[in-house]
Amino acid sequence: MSLAKDNIWKLLAPLVVMGVMFLIPVPDGMPPQAWHYFAVFVAMIVGMILEPIPATAISFIAVTICVIGSNYLLFDAKELADPAFNAQKQALKWGLAGFSSTTVWLVFGAFIFALGYEVSGLGRRIALFLVKFMGKRTLTLGYAIVIIDILLAPFTPSNTARTGGTVFPVIKNLPPLFKSFPNDPSARRIGGYLMWMMVISTSLSSSMFVTGAAPNVLGLEFVSKIAGIQISWLQWFLCFLPVGVILLIIAPWLSYVLYKPEITHSEEVATWAGDELKTMGALTRREWTLIGLVLLSLGLWVFGSEVINATAVGLLAVSLMLALHVVPWKDITRYNSAWNTLVNLATLVVMAN
């Protein structure tokens, strides 16, 4: 099957699913518009799974369909019969509600924090520092990878940006030092273990902090709207902390036992990391400023939740990063991951409400 035909099939599948559900009689007791809306929702899920176009575009299109077809998808006959009820105005208000969600903007603020780590070089410096002081033994190097990810996770709600964009570029340089390469028997020397530790570290760090992964924050939004329960940043962290500490202690060691690398000790890793740190030089003004903003934000999230909202803390940090020239505005406008996630979460929050 050619790529074009494959895309056509993926594009038609959500439409077919929606059409079939429209033809199915409305279940007893369910309002017609609710069943029709559910058909659009299921079609959106199918589209996001198959991805004939980017998932964010799928959710955006789904919201647009609901806004345009609001008379059949959102509102019942009683509402439409009310002369004072403006269906299109209310539909548009509903469709844009996700962009006023505090949860969505909290994630956006955390993404800009992640950009700060990248632009300032602080994320790379933290990774190199831990590799230098824990890299003489392969086992402790495994712990270093997990710790690096955990240190970056509170402000990086994307494991792609965190593990793939910050940790991996540092760690990928280590296996070649020992002639260990992917898709090769030499991977068992050390490379396989290090790559596996990155998989473990991103799973652990993404779960430990509510801002460690965008789906966490989206889940909190649903819990808040459906169950009326508010879970703070600190509550999430404290609830997961006991399990997180156990996994932090056990996971690198257990992986080491089950998939023991051939190379267990080496001075080369620490030496390489030390040389890279020397090349980077001393901490820059931007790095010191970002460290201060990180500590300020953590302090407000942990101790100031009754005084200032978590999202306001994130927006304050972004504003200070801009004012203090840690991150230029032009870099924020080019940071596709942040804007893509903003639109994606805003539309999903609306569709799942």
Say what the pLDDT of residue 3 is. Answer: 53
Q: Residue 283's pLDDT band (boundaries 50, 70, 90)?
A: very high
Question: The whole model's pTM is what?
Answer: 0.79
Place of tokens 């504003």: 319
**What pLDDT is recorded for position 212?**
87
Give pLDDT tens digits for 179-211: 888 888 898 899 999 999 999 999 999 999 988
Q: What is the mean pLDDT of residues 114-141?
A: 89
Percent of the chain at pLDDT > 70 equals: 98
pLDDT over threshold 50, residue 84:
yes
pLDDT for residue 60: 96
- Tell me the one-letter amino acid at 332: I
Residue 304's SS3 state is coil
Average pLDDT, the chain: 89
The string over 244-276, giving b where at least 16 C-beta atoms fall within 10 Å of a residue's C-beta and e elsewhere, is beebbeebbeebbeeeebebeebeebbebbbeb
CA–CA dist 16, 5 (Å, integer): 16
**Confidence at 14, pLDDT banded by 50, 70, 90:** very high
Q: Is 284 helix (H, G, I), strand (E, B) or coil?
A: coil
For residues 117-126, average pLDDT: 88
DSSP bridge pairs for 137: 265
Question: Could you give the percent of the chain with pLDDT greater than 90?
Answer: 46
Residue 160 confidence (pLDDT) above 80:
no
pLDDT of 4 reads 66
Asked if 343 contacts 126 with a C-beta cutoff of 8 angstroms, the reply is no
Question: What ranges do the domains of the chain cover?
Answer: 3-95, 102-345
